[in-house]
Every structure is written in structure tokens, then in C-alpha cells.
Amino acid sequence: MTEPGCSLLSSGPADEDREWTMEDYASALARWCPGCGDHAVLTATERVLETEQLPPEQTVFVSGIGCSSRFPHYLRTYGFHGVHGRALPIATGVKLRRPDLHVFVVMGDGDCCSIGAGHWIHATRYNLDMVALLLDNGVYGLTKNQTSPTSPQGKPSNTQPRGAILPPINPLSATLGVTNVSFVAQTGDWLPAHMYETILAAYRHRGFAFVRILQRCPQYTTDLFEGAVRDPGLVELLVHPDGVTVPSLDRIYKNRREHDPADLDAARRLAEPEGKIRLGVFYRNETLPVYDETRRTPTLSSAQK
């Protein structure tokens, strides 16, 4: 368990007027590999904390095990570097006990989509008011190049040297298929402005906000997103007033598709990539019951009737 620095723990009147800056949220120097996409995700997240002026002592980052799960060590908020695959149950406990806290969950693809898959499904169904970031690089990086559930079929690794045998799981489709799903988005670490807006939208969503971040691992999956990084024509941006719009990308990213995030059927269709990497908000629904609210309410919410 990591704690904010002592100077950040006091919550007297002086803190109410305090303006938090990105420097206030930064902690130890991040020790991911040079060029690792995790660095960009950390910076985008710090920007969101600053934009929303989240007090560090009211904010918690929970992670599992993996490269990205070092996240809590690099932030001066509360943090819980948990157990492999168990970030979501830990975060659920935090949120149920302290619904006043801002809870973020950081998981890798091995963490969330393999050993943690059961928790992922039920966290989506419980629809607790928190943000879940899936940093998906298609490999177990910390354990040095093992096939993960999102590794592309045929990709060689130390555990499957002749190539991944099975086709990869689709985290977007899987999440969109769960009862009570309320927010699903996808972004890429090479588009920091889009990533920032997406994490911000996720934080502002009331309910369980699942964000898949396509994350580059220059050590073991160098080529995974390289085509899309070099050729904006391989990317399609989902745009809508209720989604994420980034005007600074308009000139370069010409492939744009109007998609109303309220349309679940369309979201499920678009989750199948069809040769393109689609980025944006696939689905958003704030009318669904949020578990940390409904469990304190004796009657059924109107959405359940």
C-alpha cells in the first residue's frame, strides 16, 4: 500500500484553496523501459487528475501485477499494488467501504483478461463508480515475453515459440457483452490528446468506465501497433458530441465515423475491428444502476423496474 506524501495528507481549510498541479501528483521516477507506452498513460492520467483537481488524499490507484501495475508507485495518491488478476476485487472493496474516494484501477492484458477475467465480468456487471484502465500490449512483459490472451494469433513468444495458437480475445466485445455494461472506450498511447480526453470522459462517467488503451511494448511487441502509428489511415476515430472529440487530430486523422455511444448494438458491431483500429467511446449509459449507490437504497431504481 502506498500513501501520499505527508505534506499532502492534511485537509485543513488551506487545502480547500489549494490548486493541484501535475507535479503534485508525480512521485518516483517511472522505471519502465525507454519508449514504453506506460509513460504516456501515466502523463495523461496526471493531466486528468490536475484537470479535475482531485485531492491526492481522496484518490486511490489499485493495480494487479505486471509492468503497468507499477502505476501506483509513480503517483502521490493512495495506491494498492495488489495481486495478479485481483485488482478489481481490491478496488471493489475500497469503493464499497469508501464511496467518497476516486478509484482508478490499472491492469495489464494478462492481469485483466486471463487470471482476472472472472473479476472483470462481474466488476462490469456491478457497475461501481470507478475507472478501469486496461493497458493492452498483447504480451506478458514483466515475465519476459509470454503469450497473453490478447496476443495476436501466430505471434511467437517464450511460452508458444511457434506462435500463439489461439485467436486473441477482444476486450471491447467481451465487455460490451456483459449485463449492465455502462461505459466502454478505446484509445492509443501514441495519441496523448485522445488518451487524455478518453480517460477524462471515463472519470466523468457515473458508473464502471472501462478503457482499453493500446499500449506499445518496444521490448516484446514492437510491431503490434506500429502500422497504425505510422499510417493514420489505419485508424478510425469514433466521433460524437457524447463521445470524445479532439479537434487537433482532424487534419491528420481523416477516417472518422459518427457513432452515438447510446447505441449498444452499433457499439458491438464496431468493436469488431474490420482491419482498422477504432478509437473513441463505443458505449455510454448513465441510466443503469450503480452498485455502490443501489446497495444503499432500499428500493429498486427506476432503471430496474
* Contact footprint for ligand SF4 (CB under 6 A): 32-33, 36, 38, 67, 137, 141, 217-220
For the CB of residue 125, give the shortest distance to ligand SF4 in the complex, in Å.
Answer: 29
Distances (CA, A) of 287 to 56, 181, 207: 29, 11, 9
* Neighbour order of strands in the sheet with 78-81: 78-81, 59-63, 102-108, 130-136, 208-214, 183-188, 277-284, 235-239, 256-258
For the CB of residue 301, give the shortest distance to ligand SF4 in the complex, in Å.
Answer: 40
Q: Which three cell numbers stand for residue 178?
A: 456483459
| DSSP-derived 3-state class of residue 244 | coil
Instruction: Give which of 69, 77, 64, 79 is closest to 26, Cα–Cα.
Output: 77
217, 68 contact by CB (below 8 A)? no
Which CB, 141 or 168, lies closer to ligand SF4? 141
For the CB of residue 179, give the shortest distance to ligand SF4 in the complex, in Å.
Answer: 32
Which CB, 42 or 288, lies closer to ligand SF4? 42
User: Can you say whether the dihedral through the CA atoms of 164, 195, 94, 49 is positive or negative?
Assistant: positive
Which CB, 30 or 83, lies closer to ligand SF4? 30
For the CB of residue 215, give the shortest distance to ligand SF4 in the complex, in Å.
Answer: 7
Which CB, 35 or 163, lies closer to ligand SF4? 35
For the CB of residue 33, give the shortest distance to ligand SF4 in the complex, in Å.
Answer: 3
For the CB of residue 216, give the shortest distance to ligand SF4 in the complex, in Å.
Answer: 7
Which CB, 196 or 220, lies closer to ligand SF4? 220
- Residue 298: CB atoms within 10 A of its CB come to 6
Distance, in Å, from the CA atom of 55 to the CA atom of 18, rounded to the nearest integer, reads: 9
Which CB, 38 or 46, lies closer to ligand SF4? 38
